[in-house]
Structure 1
Amino acid sequence: MGSTREGQDARDRDEEGRARSARPRDGLGRPLPYGAAGVERQPEGVVRRPRESVAEAQALLDAGKPFHAHEVFEDAWKSGPEAERALWRGLAQLAVGLTHAARGNLTGGPRLLRRGAASVEEWAGGSGRWDPYGMDLAGLAGWARRLAGEVEESGTAVDARAAAPRLR
């Protein structure tokens, strides 16, 4: 059962009344104590054009914020056409895999990187498109598998900024 803070419900809520933690987050999306200075969060539910999603996610990856890039991909997954949902879900998995690898999750990070690689390859194979919106899906899948192997072999967390992929 969640603990309450003085004068607040047990669960934080957004404007629509949905449960959403108001705790600040660091650059890798980890919750910080209430009142701590955190990284500005990505707004949820933003509908962007696909190329805008790719550009925004790349800027976040370049800044070492893969958790936030995952949220951009998640918005595209939830708001995009049904035929592209597996693509955006796979890209979100790649970003979450990098997030976990940077947090030091040496099992979950590689697992998510490989799952994301398989998802984007499966989507591309079924769609016949390896470069949607200018993205290099084959290159991303290769990056993810290499990084997964490096994390497992080294047994250490990665620097999210230094390990970030190039989407295009």
Structure 2
Amino acid sequence: MSTSRSAGRDRDDEGRARNARPRDGLGRPLPYGAPGVERQPEGVVRTPAETLAEAQALLDAGRPFHAHEVFEDAWKSGPADERELWRSLAQLAVGMTHAARGNTTGGPRLLRRGADGLARWAGEPPAGLDTAGLVRWATALADEVEGAGRPVDAARSAPRLTHRS
């Protein structure tokens, strides 16, 4: 799928809006032509284990924005009974993105929203996902960001997604 710029907007061949601007490791747009971090491909269908492994690697690399995109694919393509789980994980990753960017209000809010979604999720977590540990991590990180009032280091603050990772 190619992307073209017309009338100041990036559009794919079907006319859907796409942002072809390069992005940094935290997903912030950079000027056209600047070197950026490779974007995650959209619409990839992965198993839960593949999703968690890919997202963990991105989180460990300090790229929570990109991990959010992996969780978003699972949220949109996964079974209906797991969508709230994957959506909550995407919110955690976006919260961490904002916390790393220095958004000391929105970051904690999104971290808590994701933690609340995980805490309410009633199913058996797939692929060894540690929902209880992630709720504790997100709450502690939200408290830290609010208390310190400064950005966090995304790679150092990365959570363990599974009991095995």
User: Which of the five TM-score ranges fits, normalised by the shorter chain?
Assistant: over 0.9
Q: Does 1:137 align with 2:131?
A: yes
What is aligned with 1:38? 36
1:7-156 residue pairs with structure 2 within 5 A? 8-123=6-121, 126-127=122-123, 129=124, 131-156=125-150
TM-superposed CA distance for 1:133, in Å, is: 1.2
Task: Give the distance between the partners of 1:164 and 1:21, measured in 2 at CA.
Answer: 27
TM-superposed CA distance for 1:76, in Å, is: 0.2
What is aligned with 1:3? none
Counterpart of 2:9 in 1: which secondary structure?
coil
TM-superposed CA distance for 1:18, in Å, is: 1.2
- Runs (5+) with no aligned partner, structure 1: 1-6
What is aligned with 1:161? 155
Normalization by structure 1: what TM-score?
0.91
Task: Give the distance between the partners of 2:44 and 2:7, measured in 1 at CA.
Answer: 27
Please identify which structure carries the higher helix content: 1
Task: Give the distance between the partners of 1:38 and 1:19, measured in 2 at CA.
Answer: 20
- Runs (5+) with no aligned partner, structure 2: none
Please identify which structure carries the higher strand content: 2
TM-superposed CA distance for 1:78, in Å, is: 0.1
TM-superposed CA distance for 1:15, in Å, is: 3.8
% identity of equivalent residues: 73
Once superposed, what is the RMSD of the aligned Cα atoms? Answer: 1.1
Contact 2:88/2:114 (CA < 8 Å) preserved in 1?
yes
* Farther off after superposition, 13-22 or 32-41: 13-22
Normalization by structure 2: what TM-score?
0.93
